[in-house]
Structures are given as structure tokens and as C-alpha cells.
Structure 1
Amino acid sequence: MFSKAADNMVNKLVKMKIIEAEDCELYRFGIETALLKGIHLISYLILGLLLGKTIELIIFLIAFIPLREYAGGYHAATKKGCYIISCLCILSMLLILRVFPAAYYSNSMYLAVFSGVLLLFLVPVESKNKPLDDSERAYFKSKAGFIIVLLLTLSLFLFMLNQFSLSFLLALVLFYEMIAAVTGKIILQKGKN
């Protein structure tokens, strides 16, 4: 579905002489990726609206997306699998925020510290589709490490200001990335054996 839409858009751009024919594949990939990311975000926003947690969703995504980009971790084998797993992760996070009593939020620091420290040791987690060389590994580790420490610091700061729900939300960001990193590491190890 998205490849046909991307093909149509690229063909129109070539006909209009906006892009060169030899650049078609690059533009096709970019357009298809943008369409897929757009569908992901729209689906997430619908889930956030349905559960009355749109602001929390936006904060989660602002923190999670850059961390996920640099920390790596599990990646689904197909685009459909990626979409389903991503939506299930977002749905579970929103349900946790909706269902868990606020009394549990005061434990956010334990979750944040546990997840953050474990992540510092694991990242970056490469996948078979995205192997990293030594310089990339160092670059991604420094970026992911900075984001992890920033999120831990913000979570602690918000906790000290009695902003338990925001502190808990940032702890969930670290927790969900920790799950992706551990899963990715396990799958990578199984693939090597």
C-alpha cells in the first residue's frame, strides 16, 4: 500500500522534473518511511485521545524517540510487525498511566534508576539489520548515555518537586527502552549462537 503511494509520488516528481530518474529509489524509500512514521504517529495520537492521555503520550514520545534512536534494541522483522508491536507498547504504556493508582508513582525513582543504570551498560544495542562499527558504537553510546542521564536527572528533579506523575512517565520511558534493549541483546546473542 505505502510502496504504491510512494511510487506514484516519485513518478510524479520525475515527470515534473523535480527529481532525477536515477534518484528515484532514494526518494521512494524516504517517502515510504515518512508515510509509515506518519501512520504510526496518527495511531498513537488516536490511542492517546481514546484513553484521555494525549499530553502524557506527547511527553513520552518526545523523550522516547531520541533515546530509542541512539540506544537501539529490538526491531521487528517486518513493517507490519513493527507497527503492531509499537502500537501495543504505546497502548500498554497509556493503560499503565490510566490504571495504576497515583500511589504507585512515588516508586518511580526505583524504576528509573534500575532501568537507567541497566541501559547505561547495554547501549547501544545493534541489530542484524543495523550493525555498528567502532566509531558508530562510541557515538551512539555517548548520545544514548547523555539522554539516559538527562532523563534520570529530570525524573529525580520532578520527583523531588512532588511531580510524581511526570517522574513516573520519564521512568516509563527508560523502562520501555530497557525492555527493547534487553530483548534486542538476547535476540542478537541467539543469532550469533
Structure 2
Amino acid sequence: MQKLAIRLTNYVVYKGVVKEEERKVYEYGFQTGLEVSLSFLISIVIAALGHMLLEGLLFLAIFIPLRSYAGGMHLEHYSYCLILSNLTYAGILLIVKLIAVPMLFSILLLSVFIAAVWVMYPVKHMNRPIDRGEEIYFKKQLKRFLLADAALAIVFLILKSDKYLLLMMVTFFLMVITMLVGKYKELRE
């Protein structure tokens, strides 16, 4: 991805769209955009192959904001992250497809995991330090998303959608695991 990002940056610098002094910013932006796009594309393909596109999109709609605002585990290389993320994603979709869990069990564990995410916030990483203002903003956003997720869980409970409640519960379980690993790494550093 880095090589492609450099080539794209070289092209926009050559065309005069970007100044040479902005090179590093554009290389980073292109690389990040390419990595996120590839991850999203693979996720959609996995969900489509499993005939679980709606479930896959619901997972992403819940997990991405949580991960963005609460923090969690970071791997050292993008390729490791891509592989682990997509294996985990496929595993979660497989669990939801093959396992039936009573709604009460899902809602109980989901409640515990939502509380755990709130209590464990923030998970910091040395490569992305946040100042006090960002921390306050992130916590406010996290609270909004947690309340929205809780409301969505109530809707699924009313609709007796045990599959979507299970998906939410397993997604939050994954979030708690990544936060615990992130906290452990934070303490070690």
C-alpha cells in the first residue's frame, strides 16, 4: 500500500495539484485511504459470500464507531491487522449464522459489555496520543454511540430478533477483548 501511495503522491505532485512540501501528508492520506478501502471491500465480499450482507454491515456500523472512539488493540503492521480483522469478522458472522442463543442471554451479556466499554475508556496508544480536549470529545461521542447501540438492542428485543442481538453481543465482546489487550499493551509501554 505504501508503494502505491507514493506513486499516487508522485503523480499529484508531478501534475502540480500538490506542493512538494505536502508530500508526506498526501502519502499518509493515500495510504490510509487505500488500506481502509481494501479492508472494507474484503469485509463486504466476506459478508456477501456468506449471504450475510445485512449482518456484516450491522457489525461494521456498530464496531467502527466504537473502535474509533474507545480505542483498543493496535498491531504493528497493516497486513497483520488486515488478516486478523477479516478472520475475526468472518468468525463473528459464522457464529451468528450457526449458533442460536436465547435473547435474554444476549441482552444480559450485551448490557455487561456496554458497561465494560464505558468503564475501560480510554485505551490509549503511543502512536496516537490524544490531548484532554480530544479525550472529552471522544468520550462524549462514545456515550452517544453506546446509547444508540442500547436503543438498537431494545428495538431488536421488541422485534424478537435474536440473531441481531447475538451479533451485537458478540461485537461488543470483541470490542471488550480489543480494549483489554490495548490496556495491557498500554501498561507495558
Q: Give the TM-score range, shorter chain.
A: over 0.9
Encode CA deviations 1:111-147: one digit per residue, 9 max, x unaligned: 2101001111011211122222222222211211221
TM-score (norm 1): 0.91
Q: How many aligned residue pairs are there? A: 189
Deviation at 1:188, TM superposition (A): 1.2
Report if aligned partners of 1:155, 1:168 keep a CA contact under 8 Å in 2: no
Q: What's 1:151 paired with?
A: 149
Q: CA–CA distance in 2 between the matches of 1:59 and 1:38?
A: 17
- Aligned sequence identity (%): 25
Q: Structure 1 residue aligned with 2:175, among 158, 167, 177?
A: 177
Q: CA–CA distance in 2 between the matches of 1:173 and 1:34?
A: 24
Report if aligned partners of 2:103, 2:157 keep a CA contact under 8 Å in 1: no
Q: What's 2:12 paired with?
A: 13
Q: CA–CA distance in 1 between the matches of 2:95 and 2:121?
A: 25
> Which one-letter code corresponds to 2:83 in the other structure?
I
Q: CA–CA distance in 2 between the matches of 1:58 and 1:9?
A: 29
Q: CA–CA distance in 2 between the matches of 1:110 and 1:128?
A: 34
Gaps of 5+ in 2: none
Secondary structure, in 3 states, of the residue corresponding to 1:152? helix
Deviation at 1:88, TM superposition (A): 1.8
Q: CA–CA distance in 1 between the matches of 2:45 and 2:159?
A: 31
Q: What's 1:27 paired with?
A: 26
Deviation at 1:110, TM superposition (A): 1.3
Gaps of 5+ in 1: none
TM-score (norm 2): 0.92
Q: What's 2:54 paired with?
A: 55
Q: What's 1:77 paired with?
A: 76
Q: What's 2:67 paired with?
A: 68
Deviation at 1:106, TM superposition (A): 4.5
